[in-house]
Amino acid sequence: MMRNLVITYSSMLNIDLHSHSTISDGMLSPSRLLAHAASRGVNILALTDHDDIAGLSEARHCALQENITLINGVEISVTWHSRTLHIIGLGINPEHPPLADGLEEIRDGRMDRAQAIAAQLDKYGIHGSLEGARAQAGESRLIGRTHFARFLASQGYAKDVKSVFKKFLVKGKPGYVSHVWTSLSEAIDWIRGSGGQAVIAHPARYKLGNNLLEQLLSEFCELGGTGIEVVSSSHTPEQTRQFAQLASHMNLYASCGSDYHGPGESYFDLGRLPALPPECTPIWSEWKIPDIQES
């Protein structure tokens, strides 16, 4: 049975549209992520691994067992005006060739960047970081800064992952390498072409001034983007209010996601997100998905 989600679940909806598994830089396998989501009462979850969709089939299998509605997702790394942005695709078809091929190219680029990061750390006197990061990445087909951070933390270079980022992996630090990802227009085209909706992830993280932010939102809308994250682990309550207003002003749908990476790694646990502010139009308001309440 297909119903309008908002009417059906208004009182018991627990929805989280941004999460990671071991397919990218999360700590839980897709199955364990779904089990954790179920234990937290989540009934609709998007798995949005960085630049890879390889976790979706395992997640879908487990979502059925856990009685969770899985939304096919991805978080695409984008370069816009020399800055890195993350664009979430929701409701994508992972088999759409331009999307699958485009993500593969991004992962190839990540490998080149990982080698460059390791070479810089080598010069700085930290050896073996590529192998270390690769071991942290496990089954993942990509290597990210988080894998380097976990390796460096495990070797005692800083007290935890957050401190490693600050000390080594952000602009101006010895292990930082600038990188050109895909363009905003390509990422949105892949997402839309596969039947999905494009959403700007954690907009407050980019620290754009008013002018650039306005430019981003108008370009994003012109290119066919439809949503923006309003509730995120990266946002303060004030930023949530600010982006709720912006979303309604720009006629963008609002999304919410914990950006869960594993126990203790994100501010909000799965299923523990505050509600969207009332002026928002939730991105799921027009979704038609099977009624999970009666299954």
Nearest-angstrom CA–CA distance, 71 and 288? 12
By a kind-dependent CB cut-off of 5 to 8 A, residue 161 interacts, out of ligand AMP, Mn ion, none, with ligand AMP
- Cα 181 to its chain centre, rounded Å, is 15
Among 28, 33, 85, 161, contact with ligand AMP (rule: CB under 6 A):
161
Task: Report whether 270 contacts 258 (CB < 8 A).
Answer: yes
Task: Report whether 88 contacts 18 (CB < 8 A).
Answer: yes
Among 16, 66, 189, 259, contact with Mn ion (rule: CB under 5 A):
259
Shortest spacing between CB 144 and ligand AMP, in angstroms: 3
Nearest-angstrom CA–CA distance, 200 and 145? 21
Rule CB under 6 A: say whether 83 interacts with ligand AMP.
no
Nearest-angstrom CA–CA distance, 131 and 140? 14
Beta strand pairing call for 227-232 and 253-257: parallel
Rule CB under 5 A: say whether 145 interacts with Mn ion.
no
Would you say 73 or 282 has its CB closer to ligand AMP?
73
Would you say 9 or 19 has its CB closer to Mn ion?
19
Footprint (CB under 6 A) of ligand AMP, residues 52-81: 77
Q: Of the ranges 74-82, 179-187, 211-219, 266-274, which one interacts with Mn ion (CB under 5 A)? A: 74-82
Rule CB under 6 A: say whether 261 interacts with ligand AMP.
yes
Would you say 204 or 280 has its CB closer to Mn ion?
204
Shortest spacing between CB 69 and ligand AMP, in angstroms: 24
By a kind-dependent CB cut-off of 5 to 8 A, residue 77 interacts, out of Mn ion, ligand AMP, none, with ligand AMP
Nearest of 145, 109, 202 to residue 24 by alpha carbon:
145
Rule CB under 5 A: say whether 147 interacts with Mn ion.
no
Nearest of 171, 216, 190, 185 to residue 97 by alpha carbon:
190
Q: Which residues contact 97 (CB under 8 A, 6 or more apart)?
A: none
Beta strand pairing call for 227-232 and 15-16: unpaired
Q: Which residues bind ligand AMP (CB under 6 A)?
A: 25, 50, 77, 144-146, 161-162, 165, 261
